[in-house]
């Protein structure tokens, strides 16, 4: 869209930014637009008409100002990939909030969602694909009383999954130790996604240990993986959505919330994200119809080389994209940094 001349660009940006700021159609007489150029409203009107012709702006009705179309926003974000800078205080708030994640990666998603909602004032979403995308590191069976044990799976990205299991009769601590080591040995380095039930059967089953116990561990692993299949999604900051003028109409809000609370919608939408870098989906660009009224800004985060999750925000198409970009990128980067410890 470089076919915009100098003036068109200026007018276009002024309209987008003013509309993002004020949430209202921007007229040709609007100071924000006029200030940037030395020309009269009439001239601006001509330019606006041209921009509308190109499909970048539109009219809610005859006598209203212009608002950007989805295509307009798209052009805008493509023009301004360089994001707005976060203030030092904001950066610090984010870092502080995520520090604790280093100690407890399982809480990282929640923390990230919280701080992102706070900084952006939009609804934030963090999807952590659970075990699915992680690499098996070790299994430990720790005896706990006579007939019970704690089983812990550790993954390379610092993930831990603990649960209790019942023991068949006649299994001693030594047996547990032996089984732990054997399973650890056989599964180490295995991507958990590759551990189908059959595979598990094959790898583990060929040994002839105490069968009942093995069966129990096996079903657990299987179930844990099944659950890891659809990522756990944490949402935070629903309240911010309701404050946006575009969602003040009660059923607009209801519809959106219903969509968001159904996990598959967000999961779908986020599945379209590339593995690397920032990713923006504006209005009609969204796969799921329910999200056509909003925009998503997303980024993946990694533990070492492995992508382990997605952070992002959901807001109206009239979103403060530059700020959102900055915040999402910063949070994703810090998360990645934090999880480096477990590389």
Partner DNA sequence: GTTAGCACTCTCGTCTGATGAGTGCTAACG
Partner DNA sequence: CGTTAGCACTCATCAGACGAGAGTGCTAAC
Contacts to DNA by CB under 7 A: 7, 25, 27-30, 38-43, 45-46, 48-49, 52, 59-66
Least separation in angstroms between residue 242's CB and DNA is: 19
∠ CA 83-88-93, nearest 5°, is: 100
Q: Which tokens sit at 342?
A: 């477990």
- What is the rounded distance in angstroms from the CA atom of residue 195 to the CA atom of residue 54? 52
By the rule CB under 8 A, 23 interacts with its own copies: no
Least separation in angstroms between residue 28's CB and DNA is: 3
By the rule CB under 8 A, 158 interacts with its own copies: yes
Strand partners for 128: 232
- What is the rounded distance in angstroms from the CA atom of residue 313 to the CA atom of residue 331? 11
Residues 261-320 that bind its own copies (CB under 8 A): 261
* Residue 343 contact, options DNA, its own copies, none, Cβ 5-8 Å cut-off depending on partner type: none
- What is the rounded distance in angstroms from the CA atom of residue 186 to the CA atom of residue 190? 9
* Residue 226 contact, options DNA, its own copies, none, Cβ 5-8 Å cut-off depending on partner type: none
Give the one residue of 162, 207, 215, 271 binding its own copies; rule: CB under 8 A: 162
Least separation in angstroms between residue 60's CB and DNA is: 7
* Residue 43 contact, options DNA, its own copies, none, Cβ 5-8 Å cut-off depending on partner type: DNA
Q: Is 38 or 189 the residue whose CB approaches DNA more closely? A: 38
Least separation in angstroms between residue 115's CB and its own copies is: 14
Q: Is 29 or 258 the residue whose CB approaches DNA more closely? A: 29
Least separation in angstroms between residue 3's CB and its own copies is: 41
Residues 67-126 that bind its own copies (CB under 8 A): 100, 103-104
- What strands, in cross-sheet order, belong to the sheet with 148-155? 136-143, 148-155, 160-166
Q: Is 24 or 52 the residue whose CB approaches its own copies more closely? A: 24
* Residue 19 contact, options its own copies, DNA, none, Cβ 5-8 Å cut-off depending on partner type: none
Give the one residue of 40, 81, 92, 254 binding its own copies; rule: CB under 8 A: 254
Determine whether 42 is exposed, middle or buried from the number of CB atoms within 10 Å of its CB (0-12, 13-18, 19+). exposed
Of 295, 328, 334, whose CA–CA distance to 84 is shortest? 328
- What is the rounded distance in angstroms from the CA atom of residue 310 to the CA atom of residue 9? 33
Least separation in angstroms between residue 107's CB and its own copies is: 8
How many positions of this chain bind its own copies (CB under 8 A)? 34
∠ CA 163-168-171, nearest 5°, is: 95
Residues in CB range of 91: below 8 A, 6 or more apart: 330
- What is the rounded distance in angstroms from the CA atom of residue 341 to the CA atom of residue 343? 6
How long, in residues, is the chain? 343
Residues 208-227 that bind its own copies (CB under 8 A): 220, 223
Of 144, 181, 186, whose CA–CA distance to 165 is shortest? 144
* Local structure of residue 114 (DSSP, 8 states): H
∠ CA 123-85-24, nearest 5°, is: 55
By the rule CB under 8 A, 164 interacts with its own copies: yes
* Residue 238 contact, options DNA, its own copies, none, Cβ 5-8 Å cut-off depending on partner type: its own copies
List interacting residues with its own copies (CB under 8 A).
Answer: 100, 103-104, 137-138, 140, 142, 144, 150, 152, 154, 158, 160-164, 220, 223, 236-239, 242-243, 248-250, 253-254, 257-258, 261, 342
């Amino acid at each position: 869209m470089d076919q915009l001349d100098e003036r068109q660009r200026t007018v276009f940006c002024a309209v987008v930014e003013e509309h993002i700021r004020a949430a209202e159609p921007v007229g040709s007489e609007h100071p924000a637009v006029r200030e940037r150029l030395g020309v009269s409203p009439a001239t601006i009107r001509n330019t606006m008409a041209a921009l509308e012709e190109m499909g970048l702006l539109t009219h809610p009705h005859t006598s209203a100002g212009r608002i950007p179309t989805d295509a307009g926003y798209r052009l805008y974000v493509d023009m301004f990939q360089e994001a707005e800078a976060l203030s030092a205080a904001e950066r610090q708030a984010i870092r502080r909030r995520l520090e604790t994640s280093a100690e407890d990666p399982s809480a990282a998603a929640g923390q990230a969602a919280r701080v992102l909602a706070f900084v952006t004032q939009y609804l934030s979403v963090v999807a952590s694909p659970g075990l699915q995308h992680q690499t098996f590191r070790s299994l430990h069976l720790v005896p706990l009383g006579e007939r019970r044990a704690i089983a812990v799976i550790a993954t390379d990205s610092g993930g831990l999954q603990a649960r209790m299991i019942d023991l068949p009769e006649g299994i001693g601590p030594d047996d547990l130790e032996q089984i732990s080591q054997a399973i650890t040995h056989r599964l180490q380095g295995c991507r958990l996604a590759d551990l189908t039930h059959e595979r598990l059967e094959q790898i583990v089953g060929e040994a002839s240990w105490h069968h009942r116990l093995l069966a129990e561990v096996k079903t657990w692993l299987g179930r844990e993986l099944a659950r890891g299949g659809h990522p756990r999604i944490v949402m935070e900051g629903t309240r911010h959505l309701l404050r946006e003028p575009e969602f003040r109409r009660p059923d607009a809000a209801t519809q959106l919330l219903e969509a968001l609370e159904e996990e598959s919608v967000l999961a779908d939408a986020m599945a379209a994200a590339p593995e690397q870098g920032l990713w923006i989906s504006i209005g009609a660009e969204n796969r799921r119809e329910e999200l056509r009224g909003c925009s998503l800004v997303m980024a993946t985060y990694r533990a070492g080389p492995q992508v382990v999750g997605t952070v992002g925000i959901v807001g109206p198409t009239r979103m403060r994209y530059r700020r959102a970009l900055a915040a999402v990128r910063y949070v994703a980067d810090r998360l990645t940094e934090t999880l480096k410890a477990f590389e």
